[in-house]
Structure formats: C-alpha cells, structure tokens
Amino acid sequence: MPRHFALTDLAEIKAFVDAAQAADLVTFDGTRPVSTLLPVIWDLQADLPGRESEPGRYGQLLGHIAIANDQWKTALPAAQALAIVHGPQAYVSPAWYESKARHGRVVPTWNYETVHLTGTVAFHHDQEWKRALVSRLTRLHEQTRDHPWAVTDAPPDYVEGQLRAIVGVEMTITRIEAKQKLSQNRGEQDRAGVIVGLRTEPGPGPACIADRMAAQLSMEG
C-alpha cells in the first residue's frame, strides 16, 4: 500500500468501522470465497460472555448471520477470514486537475476509504451469547430514537425462536489494513480542483469524498 494512502491511527480506524456499522465477511469454503454482509460491533475490549480473558490483538468483530446461511458451516476451521468495511467512494476525472492544462499527463482515478480486518472466525450457537449480541446491536441502532425499541419489548418465546434462527459470528482480529485514498499523491492545486469537481457530481459518495479531501487539505495547511 502506498505510504501516503495508509491510515494507521487505531482510534481513527475504529471510528471509521463504528460509523460504517456493517462489514462484508469473506471466508473460504474449500472451493470458492463466500461473502455475507453483516451488521457488526468492533470490541477492542470484548465483554461478551466467555471472552473476557482472551481478547485478540485487535479485539473482536462481532455479528450474526442466518442459520440458513451455509457460510457458518463451510468456513474452513482456523482459516483466515476477511471483513471488508466500506466507506465513501467516487470517480475522479482528470479534467479537474490544474496540471491537465499544463502538461496533460493525467488519467482518471477512483478515490475511496476502506478498512480490511483479517483474523480467525468462530461461530456461536449459545442462546445467551446471541442474546447479548443482538441486545447490544439493538441499543446501538435505537439509542437516538424518541421511542427506542428493545429486545425485551418482544415476547420472550418469540425472541427465543428468533435467536435460534441466527448464528453468532466472532472474528478475532490479527491484522488491520486501512486505506484512505484522497489524491494525497497530487499537488495542492490538483486536489483543490478535484474538490470543486466532486461537489458538482450527484450522489452522497462524491460529496463525502470532497468533504474528506477538504478537511485533509485544511489540516495540512
């Protein structure tokens, strides 16, 4: 990974994953890669039952999948898995570079932010483990609402049935690769041109990338 695109501050990476709230879990079934999008929580200090004494180097990524999803059955034991956390992304036109008018040696590119978490995955069937996880996920997503819903709002027997329909996912993270590609390899005038260009593009991705680039330029200045 080019040094100028690497994101290394653990607190900043953690904040990125927390904001995304979901990840693509990729495992290998012996013949092909398999992927499922999961709602996730990243525990640098795991506090689910049975995990207090053995946190991974970078903690655990926690989530759940449907029991009908064969990924929990086919993931090779002890094999490395990958969780891909996506951020904003946008096409960058070379027409926006100031240097295009000077020498023309420019090409299109793609700006984006992403985090790859690698580690081993365990799958949990214990009802209390799963209840603790879904309760945390629910609190995370409901806490800002005027009338937050809680797992305890549903009938206990219904909740038990829903818990039997999922499998808990726990990745012990051993490697982090975080990339923030925001045209850091270009000059200040080129980057300023990209910010202006992105703000004319439709959709949330270009606007978000423009904001990230503007904040970075401001910090450097």
Model confidence over 158-192: pLDDT tens digits? 999 999 999 999 999 999 999 999 999 999 999 99
Q: How many CA atoms lie within 13 A of 29 on its CB side?
A: 13
- 4 near 50, Cβ under 8 Å? no
The span from the CA of 29 to the CA of 99, in Å, is 48
What is the span of the domain harbouring residue 50?
3-185
> What is the CATH number for 89?
2.30.110.10
Q: Give the Cβ contact number of residue 173 at 10 Å.
A: 20
Q: Report if residue 123 sits inside a domain.
A: yes
Task: Compute the 3-state secondary structure of the chain and give helix, strand, coil in percent, each to the nearest 5.
Answer: 35, 30, 30
Report how far residue 155's alpha carbon sits from residue 137's, in angstroms, rounded to the nearest whole number. 18
Q: What is residue 221's predicted lDDT score, i.e. its pLDDT?
A: 72
Greater pLDDT, 1 or 136: 136
Q: How confident is the model at residue 98 (pLDDT cuts 50, 70, 90)?
A: very high
| Residue 141 CB coordination number (10 Å) | 13
CA distance 183 to 40: 29
Question: Quick check: is 208 in a domain?
Answer: no
State yes or no: pLDDT of 51 exceeds 80.
no
What's residue 100's pLDDT? 86
> CA-CA distance, 125 to 138, in Å (whole number)?
19
The reply to whether 109 falls in a domain is yes
**Average pLDDT rounded to a whole number, residues 80-87:** 97
Residue 97 has pLDDT above 70, yes or no: yes
Please count the structural domains in the chain.
1
* Domain assignment present for 8: yes
Provide the pLDDT confidence category of residue 48 given band limits of 50, 70 and 90. Answer: very low
Predicted pLDDT of residue 55: 47
Amino acid 173: pLDDT: 94
In a domain, 80, yes or no: yes
- Within-domain flag for 200: no
In a domain, 196, yes or no: no
Q: What is the mean pLDDT of the chain?
A: 92
Residue 77 counted as domain residue: yes
**SS3 at position 172:** strand
Check residue 52 and give its pLDDT.
45
3-state secondary structure of 94: helix
Q: What is the pLDDT of residues 29-39, one digit of tens each?
A: 999 999 999 99
pLDDT of residue 56: 53
